[in-house]
């Protein structure tokens, strides 16, 4: 366990060692256990977290707010369009000022080509930890909860196969941050990762290359596939979700038109039956029901989506306790 994490930013897990990530997960499990037993843990009494949103949220906002309250602190919700941030507050000013008002700053900004740079600029000016609640490149708190869930459900992830697949959704061009961060983290933990998507829905080449290097170092593997059914065969973890064709068609209308070529990429009972008998189905939610995944799967015996969502709370509490304490 690593003990010197106070004051650390968590913008990308690539800046954290595997030992440090293990520490987060150990603390998350401890806090989860204590909550189940009704043991209070006001580790951040009188601390305040500023939560700045440029993008709508359900689970992220609710879990960070609940987590801060359970840790004895307060979460301050700030929405960019209803504040002066939409009218001229710069990233440096946000870092300087919110860093003086608060004990931590959490930001969600998924604007393509902007989000990650913005969060890093805030962090450069802030005297308190800055936490990435999702940007255009990464979603570290989501994938921490994902790894925590995989460990709980399938045990040691090393040697297990995870299918990280694109799926069709009609709602909007979703960010690529979840699949990118997931292949980076799963390969660090020795998993055999299948990245499955139509050719137009590629991820950033440097991210894929980094994941391949992670796999080489950990003894895992990274396989690139474009056959949806083949990606499911024998897999222990099925993580199929939609993301936008942001590298090939940044315009949302063009991206939606491309996606319509692949409306058959839906996770259904037939495809889940191709996976390992005890496979789990994961999704960060919200899912486009009966478009991205059928009700029978997401509400079925293989689905762990609600345990996965709950683990957002515990993983985030661990990060906040370790960095803001």
Determine the topology of domain 142-308 in CATH. Rossmann fold (3.40.50)
122, with CB counted inside 10 A (0-12, 13-18, 19+), is buried
Backbone angles phi, psi at 166, to 5 degrees: -70, 150
Q: Which of 38, 49, 204, 202 is nearest to 128 (CA)?
A: 49
- Residue with structure tokens 């004895």? 72
Dump pLDDT digits (tens) for 34-50. Answer: 999 999 999 999 999 99
Judge: domain 13-139+312-324, CATH 3.40.50.1370: yes
Q: Which distant-in-sequence residues (6+ apart) come within 8 Å of 282 by Cβ? A: 146, 149, 150, 237, 238, 239, 304, 305, 308
- CB distance 220 to 186 below 8 Å: yes
* Structure tokens belonging to residue 195: 């990245």
- What is the predicted pLDDT for the residue at 138? 98
Each residue's pLDDT, cut to its tens digit, for the chain (325 residues) gives 999 999 999 999 999 999 999 999 999 999 999 999 999 999 999 999 999 999 889 999 999 999 999 999 999 999 988 888 888 899 999 999 999 999 999 999 999 999 999 999 999 999 999 999 999 999 999 999 999 999 999 999 999 999 999 999 987 789 999 999 999 999 999 999 999 999 999 999 999 999 999 999 999 999 999 999 999 999 999 999 999 999 998 888 898 999 999 999 999 999 999 999 999 999 999 999 999 999 999 999 999 999 999 999 999 999 999 999 9
- Please report, for the chain, the start and end positions of each structural domain, with discontinuous segments joined by +: 13-139+312-324, 142-308
CATH topology of 13-139+312-324 equal to that of 142-308? Answer: yes
| pLDDT number for residue 173 | 86
């Amino acid at each position: 366990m690593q003990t010197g994490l106070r004051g650390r930013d968590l913008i990308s897990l690539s800046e954290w060692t595997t030992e440090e990530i293990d520490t987060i997960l150990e603390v998350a499990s401890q806090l989860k256990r204590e909550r189940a037993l009704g043991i209070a843990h006001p580790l951040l009494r009188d601390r305040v977290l500023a939560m700045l949103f440029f993008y709508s949220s359900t689970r992220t906002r609710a879990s960070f707010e609940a987590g801060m309250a359970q840790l004895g602190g307060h979460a301050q919700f700030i929405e960019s369009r209803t504040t002066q941030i939409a009218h001229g507050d710069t990233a440096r000013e946000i870092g300087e000022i919110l860093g003086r008002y608060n004990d931590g700053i959490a930001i969600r900004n998924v604007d393509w080509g902007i989000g990650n740079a913005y969060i890093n600029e805030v962090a450069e000016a802030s005297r308190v930890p800055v936490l990435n609640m999702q940007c255009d490149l990464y979603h570290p708190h989501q994938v921490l909860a994902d790894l925590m869930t995989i460990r709980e459900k399938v045990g040691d992830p090393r040697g297990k196969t995870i299918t990280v697949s694109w799926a069709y959704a009609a709602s909007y061009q979703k960010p690529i941050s979840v699949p990118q961060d997931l292949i980076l983290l799963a390969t660090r933990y020795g998993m055999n990762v299948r990245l499955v998507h139509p050719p137009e829905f590629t991820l950033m080449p440097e991210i894929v290359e980094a994941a391949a290097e992670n796999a080489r170092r950990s003894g895992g593997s990274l396989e690139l596939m474009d056959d949806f059914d083949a990606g499911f065969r024998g897999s222990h973890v099925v993580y199929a979700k939609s993301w936008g064709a942001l590298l090939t068609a940044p315009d949302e209308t063009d991206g939606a038109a491309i996606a319509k070529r692949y409306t058959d990429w839906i996770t259904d009972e037939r495809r889940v039956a191709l996976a390992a008998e005890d496979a789990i189905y994961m999704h960060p939610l919200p899912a486009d029901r009966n478009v991205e995944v059928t009700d029978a799967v997401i509400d079925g015996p293989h689905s762990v989506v609600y345990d996965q969502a709950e683990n957002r709370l515990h993983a985030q509490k661990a990060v906040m306790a370790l960095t803001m304490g």
